[in-house]
Amino acid sequence: MQVYHLDLHELPLFRDVSAEEVDKFIAATGATIKRVGKGSRILDAYEENHNIGAIVEGEAIVLAEDRFGNESVSHNLERGAMLGSTSAIMPQVPYDMAIEALTDVLVLWIPYKALLTAGPKLGRTHGIVMKNLLEAFCRKNVLMMQKIKILSQKTLRERLILYLLYKEQRQGKGKVRVPGRVQLAKELECNRSALTREISAMHSEGMLYVGEDWMELDADKLAALG
Mean pLDDT of the chain: 91
Return the closest-CA partner of residue 58 out of 21, 24, 83.
Answer: 83
Q: Express each pLDDT in 87-135 by its tens digit.
A: 999 999 888 889 999 999 999 999 999 999 999 999 999 999 999 999 9
**39 pLDDT higher than 90:** yes
What lies within 8 Å, CB to CB, of 146 at 6+ separation is 166
Q: What percent of the chain has pLDDT over 90?
A: 73
- Taken in order of first residue, the domains within the chain and their CATH numbers are 8-148 (2.60.120.10), 153-224 (1.10.10.10)
pLDDT bin (cut points 50, 70, 90) of residue 6 is confident
Would you state the pLDDT for residue 223?
Answer: 85
pLDDT of 1 over the 50 cut: no
Which residues are 215's β-sheet partners?
176, 210
**156-176 pLDDT per residue, tens:** 999 999 999 999 998 899 999
In the Cβ-directed half-sphere of 184, how many Cα atoms lie within 13 Å? 23
Q: Taking 60 as the threshold, does the pLDDT of residue 4 lie above it?
A: no
Q: What Å distances lie between residue 214 and 22, 117, 218, CA to CA?
A: 34, 44, 13
C-alpha span between 104 and 93 (Å, rounded): 29
pLDDT above 90: residue 71? no
Compute and round to an integer the Cα radius of gyration of the chain: 19
Q: Residue 47 — φ and ψ, nearest 5°? A: -75, 140
